[in-house]
Amino acid sequence: MLNMHYFDNAATSWPKPEAVYQTADKFMREIGANPGRSGHCLAKQADTIVEETRELLAEFFGAPDPKLVTFTFNGTDGLNLVIKGLLAPGDHAITSNIEHNSVSRPLRRLEQQGVDVTYLQADANGLLFAENLAPLLRPETKLVIMSHASNVLGAVQDVAALAKVAHQNGALFALDAAQTAGHQPIDMQALGIDILVVPGHKGLLAPYGTGAVISLRDAGILPWRDGGTGIKSDSRMHPNELPYRLEGGTLNAAGIAGLGAAIKFINAEGLTNIAAKESNDMQQLLACLQAEERITIYGPRSAAERAGLVAFNVAGLSSAELGQLLNDDWRVAGRPGLHCSPLSHRAVGTFPDGSYRLSPGYFTTPNAIESVCAAIRQICREQ
């Protein structure tokens, strides 16, 4: 609905850059072949586009080799691949008490199969501290995995400090960058991120059905999906080389073409410019919300400490009621509820109703933000 004010970019960014639409459409109409399979020219063109996008992602996130970029179908797919491909009964993993279900649910399933999981506790603003992580590590700790920024509280973690502590104890450090990839610079080597998981459809501005697991080295992730890869078809066993080990079956090549176009768009716009614009948007929103006595904001009070989202509640209204009012009367598309992160809501005392979340994006205008603020001010005074 084109007359909506879209503030649900933390779930899926919209609109996409025009080049993303055009590139995905062109791939479907003019190439359409299966990459890495047949030897004809269309299949080779498809494979070239996929490999170019792999190279773009490696450079964008500071990975040393494009072969360490594995395409996935979304962030959840990638997180399951990492968690279930690394951990076995008897292993110990550490995560936090404010994770999205895409981290907490796979770990919970593995807990029932003999993996031991410890939950690092965040402070009231959703921040995690390295000094609190250190005592939780054990000789059998194999993986520390957590979100770069909570999709409820928005707090951005000190990744370098957390990764350093994990490495001092021999554990791998994996990062869920669902709310930060494409929004702010992430250099895996500088920050010490062994494994980075990103969805394409959020801040990277790409189509649905895209994402990646990116590694600094081969961490030994085992595949849970075996099948066709286009290489070593004579073998009874799935190939062990990366990225083919983790990419069984046909890739979403049209989506990957769109992802490549999105990375080029972000590079052209400048990631620091994007981050600055989105920080200004958040500061405008936070100033509006902090001025209303009926509103409780969850997470850091400063835009400099958070990702591009803010969750809050209005006293006297459930998050669902607030969402309905904003949708029906003001044409605002935000998100009420638990945001697929019940652990976060339990941590801040908003379970089971949740909160209402606004998440502007790169294409959100100042006028749209002011319209949302006007709506919230009126609701706080009249409802």
Question: 146, 157 in Cβ contact below 8 A?
Answer: yes
Give the pLDDT band (50/70/90) at residue 341.
very high
What burial class does residue 352 get, using C-beta atoms within 10 Å of its C-beta: 0-12 exposed, 13-18 middle, 19+ buried? exposed
pLDDT at 213 over 60: yes
Asked if residues 136 and 168 have their Cβ atoms less than 8 Å apart, the reply is no
pLDDT of residue 77: 97
What is the model's pLDDT at position 229? 66
CA distances from residue 293 to 52, 152, 335, 381 in whole angstroms, order as listed:
51, 21, 21, 10
Confidence band, pLDDT 50/70/90 cuts, at residue 3: confident
Interior angle at CA 341, CA 294 and CA 15, nearest 5: 80
Sheet architecture: strand order including 355-358: 295-298, 310-314, 355-358, 335-337
Q: Which CATH class is domain 271-382?
A: alpha beta
Contact of 265 with 35, CB cutoff 8 Å? no
| Percent of the chain with pLDDT strictly greater than 90 | 90
In the predicted structure, residue 113 carries a pLDDT above the cut 90: yes
Q: What is the pLDDT of residue 201?
A: 98
Average pLDDT of the residues in 117-136: 98
* Secondary structure, 3-state, the chain: CCCCEECECCCCCCCCCHHHHHHHHHHHHHHCCCCCCCCCHHHHHHHHHHHHHHHHHHHHHCCCCHHHEEEECCHHHHHHHHHHHHCCCCCEEEEECCCCHHHHHHHHHHHCCCCEEEEECCCCCCCCCHHHHHHHCCCCEEEEEEECECCCCCEECCHHHHHHHHHHCCCEEEEECCCCCCCCCCCHHHHCCCEEEEECCCCCCCCCCCEEEEECCCCCCCCCCCCCCCCCCCCCCCCCCCCHHHCCCCCCHHHHHHHHHHHHHHHHHCHHHHHHHHHHHHHHHHHHHHCCCCEEEECCCCHHHECCCEEEEECCCCHHHHHHHHHHHHCEECEEECCCCHHHHHHHCCCCCCEEEEECCCCCCHHHHHHHHHHHHHHHHHC
Round to whole Å and give the CA distance between 75 and 269. 24
pLDDT at 36: 77
Q: Are 308 and 183 in contact (CB under 8 A)?
A: yes
Neighbours of 133 (CB within 10 A): 23
Q: Give the model's pLDDT for residue 231.
A: 63
Q: What is the pLDDT of residue 233?
A: 66
In the structure, what pLDDT confidence band is assigned to residue 230 with cuts at 50, 70 and 90?
Answer: low
pLDDT value, residue 1 = 47
* CB 339 within 8 Å of CB 354: yes
Q: What is the pLDDT of residue 235?
A: 73
Banded pLDDT at 349 (limits 50, 70, 90): very high
Q: Which residues pair with 356 in a beta bridge?
A: 312, 336
Domain boundaries, the chain: 18-269, 271-382
> Is residue 191 over pLDDT 90?
yes
pLDDT at 232 over 90: no
The reply to whether 340 belongs to the active site is yes
Q: Work out the pLDDT band at 248, boundaries 50, 70, 90.
A: confident
User: What b/e sequence results for 167-203 when a residue is b if at least 16 CB atoms lie within 10 Å of its CB, and e otherwise?
Assistant: eeeebbbbbbbbbbbbbbebebeebbbbbbbbbbbbb
Query: Residue range 205-217: average pLDDT?
Result: 98
Residues of the chain above pLDDT 70, percent: 98
Which one is catalytic: 288, 340, 373, 380? 340
CA angle 79, 85, 86 (to 5 degrees): 100
- pLDDT higher than 90, residue 227: no
CATH of 18-269, one of 3.30.565.10, 3.40.640.10, 3.30.830.10, 3.40.50.720: 3.40.640.10
Length of the chain in terms of residues written: 383
Q: Is the pLDDT of residue 241 over 90?
A: no
Q: Rounded mean pLDDT of the chain?
A: 95
